A and B are shown apart, each in its own frame.
Chain A
Amino acid sequence: MMTILQYFVDAVALGCLFALAAIGVGIVFGVMRLANFAHGEFIMIGAYALLMFSSLPWEITWLLALCFVALVAVLTERVAFRWLRSADSSTLLVSSFAVSILLQNAVVIAFRSRPRAVPLPAFVGESLDILGLRLPVVSLLAIVLAVVCVAALVVFFKRTSLGLQMRAAAEDFRMAQLLGTRANRVVAAAFAISGILACAVSILITARSGTVSPTMGLTPVLFAFVAVTIGGLGNLVGSAVGGFLVGFITIAMQAVLPPGLSSYMDAFTFLAVIAILIFRPQGLLPSIAVEERV
């Protein structure tokens, strides 16, 4: 029983990480229809920002890193994507690959390609023992960060003018513009939020691994895209659900695969994802269908 509970906690923690990554990808996709592969580089830059500011108290380091990645994300949109806003999705996708490689190379030039250790606050490596259940602080951190971020997003989307405009733009960008929504402002806000969520993921990944490297964003962004797809494109709740599902599938594979096959865990995870998409090609929670009463 304890083992199952332990797996459950691990799955929730990993699901939180993937959910944060997936929501970050989903927000930009919703507003701009851009599958932003450079999101992985936002995660990587967040980790390097943690390294850059590591001489400061951890609270300030994390805060500065969040602001830094949000700024990088907004600048990326301003420099690379704004000109392509009316381009088709394949052009946007190729551009996001280009931005991704550009950012990765910029970090290689600045920090070299070998992995670097990131100094972390001591509490991150600790565990709590509750009734025989081992709760690593890093897992609790993932849960707390996800709850805080999701709660903040709910308040933002429901209670603020900019949040309302972002929801409207995600549903019908042209109509939102016709009602006075400033396109540049909404898209920039989407990138800023996406950057903040990417940095939250950076914190969780570096807290788990203790290192950073220029290619560290690839795996999380891949899982984020899988989560967004199985959750239902264009639906943020779906993205979050997809993230949790991917987390649960990954931990389940860890639990059930024999030691000889554990190195192929990702392959089995993706097989499970393919199986889900065969039965629900539109995703688990696709965008709201339009139904009119007559």
Chain B
Amino acid sequence: MLRVQDLRVVYGRTPALQSVSLEVRPREVVGVVGTNGAGKSTLLLSIAGILTPVQGDVLLDGRSLRNCAPEDIVRRGVALVPERRHIFHGMTVLENLRMGGLFRKDKQGVAADLEYVLNLFPVLRRFLPSRAGGLSGGEQQMLALARALMGKPRLLLLDEPSLGLGPKIIDRFFEDLEVLRETGLTILLVEQSVERLLDAADRVYVLRTGQVALEGAAASLSRAEVQAAYFGIEEEAGTGP
């Protein structure tokens, strides 16, 4: 479904991604893990069209996304829930949700999906007329995810959804993710927590200093292997995230 080929992205003269290649197959949950500055968010922003690679390509269903604006990429079925959620604080919860489906032509479908996301995240229903900036961190994360789902994506890009959330809320979030996986949604998930990622993903890529340091099926990788690649050490690591 998604193929990232030999991607190189730079910030000024500093390389953020160097020859990164990865693949996401339909209905798969693919995890990307790495330390801060490993290039995880850069990878997602490049796929979503915010950053322009200097080399390589991103193919969706075999068609290049190069030179596509972010607003065109979301129309092709790719939705990004960015790090720190980026909900519209000054708008109501309902307006945030409406923003997610604004580009869609099927108004009946949008109405049905609004009901769907409100059933998926019932806590949002009572806050519909409230200002989104007043929601708690966990509620804002639900809103960000619900807003992305309003665009009826085929591929969901999640950038560190657990960032800044308490353990219970993170547990709940990964339960919701399981529900979404069962609906057949394809997910590319960026996380810092190795353990959670190995539990949630079918396959995992470890990024280190802008390069793929390890890849494999989540079931075949041990926590120690992933941590070793994560920190760039040869031996099995005893402690880590």
Residues of chain A at the chain B interface (Cβ within 8 Å):
161, 164-165, 167-168, 171-172, 174-183, 287-288, 290-294
Contacts and interface: CB of A to CB of B under 8 A. Distances in A.
Contacts of B136: 292-294
Contacts of B221: none
Given A168-B91, A171-B91, A181 B134 contact: no
A290 B87 CA distance: 11
Contacts of A175: 82, 86, 88
B8 to A, nearest CB: 20
A275 B223 CA distance: 61
B217 interface: no
B92 to A, nearest CB: 10
Nearest to A167: B91
B101 to A, nearest CB: 9
A288 B86 CA distance: 14
Nearest to A293: B136
A290 B84 CA distance: 12
B99 A165 contact: yes
Interface in B70-99: 70-71, 74-75, 79-80, 82, 86, 88-91, 95, 98-99
Contact of B71 (A167, A180, A290, A293): A180
Contact of A168 (B74, B82, B88, B131): B88
A180 B151 contact: yes
A266 to B, nearest CB: 34
A52 B63 CA distance: 52
Interface string B113-151: 000000000000000000101111101100000010001
Interface residues of B, number: 31
B29 interface: no
Contacts, number: 81
13 contacts: A164-B91, A165-B99, A167-B88, A168-B91, A172-B86, A177-B69, A177-B70, A178-B80, A178-B82, A180-B74, A181-B71, A288-B131, A290-B133
B165 to A, nearest CB: 10
B131 to A, nearest CB: 8
A27 to B, nearest CB: 15
Nearest to A170: B90
B71 A288 contact: no
Contact of B102 (A179, A287, A290, A294): A179
A161 B102 contact: yes
A180 B147 contact: no
A177 B50 CA distance: 9
Given A167-B90, A290-B133, 16 more contacts: A165-B99, A171-B88, A174-B50, A174-B86, A176-B99, A177-B69, A178-B50, A178-B79, A178-B80, A179-B147, A180-B102, A181-B102, A288-B89, A288-B133, A293-B137, A293-B139
B207 interface: no
Contacts of A183: 69, 71
Contacts of A182: 71
Contact of B88 (A172, A180, A293): A172
Nearest to B166: A294
A288 B90 contact: yes
A178 B90 contact: no
B100 interface: yes
| 6 nearest A-B pairs in the assembled complex, by CB-CB distance | A180-B103, A293-B136, A175-B86, A288-B90, A177-B70, A180-B74
A178 B69 CA distance: 9
B48 interface: yes
A286 to B, nearest CB: 12
B26 to A, nearest CB: 22
Indicate the member of B79, B86, B100 with the most A CB atoms within 10 Å: B86
